[in-house]
Amino acid sequence: MIEHLPEFPLPWEMSAAERFALIGLVSRLRPEVAIEIGTYFGGSLQVLDAYCGRVHAIDRNPDVARQLAGRFPRTRFHVGGSREQIPEVLAEIEAAPESLGFVLVDGDHSASGVQADIEALLCHRPRGPVLVLLHDSFNPDCRAGIRRAGWGRSEFVHSLELDFVVGGYHSTAQGGAFAGSMWGGFALAMLRPEPRSGELVITAAQEAMHGFVFRRSTHRVWHKVVRRLRRLTSTRP
What's the mean per-residue pLDDT of the chain? 91
C-alpha span between 194 and 128 (Å, rounded): 9
In this model, does residue 175 exceed pLDDT 70? no
Q: Report pLDDT digits (tens) over 177-188.
A: 778 899 999 999
For residues 143 and 115, the answer to whether their CB atoms sit within 8 Å is no
Task: Quickly count: other Cβ atoms within 10 Å of residue 54's Cβ.
Answer: 18
C-alpha span between 93 and 99 (Å, rounded): 7
Mean pLDDT of 106-134: 96
Q: What is the pLDDT of residue 170?
A: 84
Is the sign of the CA dihedral 43, 45, 49, 53 positive or negative?
positive
DSSP secondary structure string for all residues of 48-66: HHHH-SEEEEEES-HHHHH
211 by Cβ neighbours in 10 Å (0-12 / 13-18 / 19+) ranks as: exposed
In this model, does residue 228 exceed pLDDT 70? no
Mean pLDDT of 186-206: 97
Q: What is the pLDDT of residue 1?
A: 47
Mean pLDDT of 117-130: 97
pTM of the model: 0.92
Q: Report pLDDT digits (tens) over 65-88.
A: 999 999 999 999 999 999 999 999
Question: What letter represents residue 34's amino acid?
Answer: A
Instruction: Break the chain into its structural domains and give their ranges.
Output: 2-235
Q: What is the pLDDT of residue 7?
A: 85
Q: What is the pLDDT of residue 230?
A: 55
218 alpha-carbon distance from chain centroid: 23
CB proximity list for 34: less than 8 A, separation 6 or greater = 26, 48, 52, 54, 55, 56, 100, 101, 102, 103, 104
In this model, does residue 227 exceed pLDDT 80? no
| Domain 2-235: top CATH class | alpha beta
User: Which of the four pLDDT bands, split at 50, 70 and 90, describes residue 173?
Assistant: confident
C-alpha span between 191 and 125 (Å, rounded): 9
Q: For 46-55, 163-172, 203-212, which range has the lowest pLDDT when averaged over its residues?
A: 163-172
Give the side-chain half-sphere CA count within 13 A for 24. Answer: 8
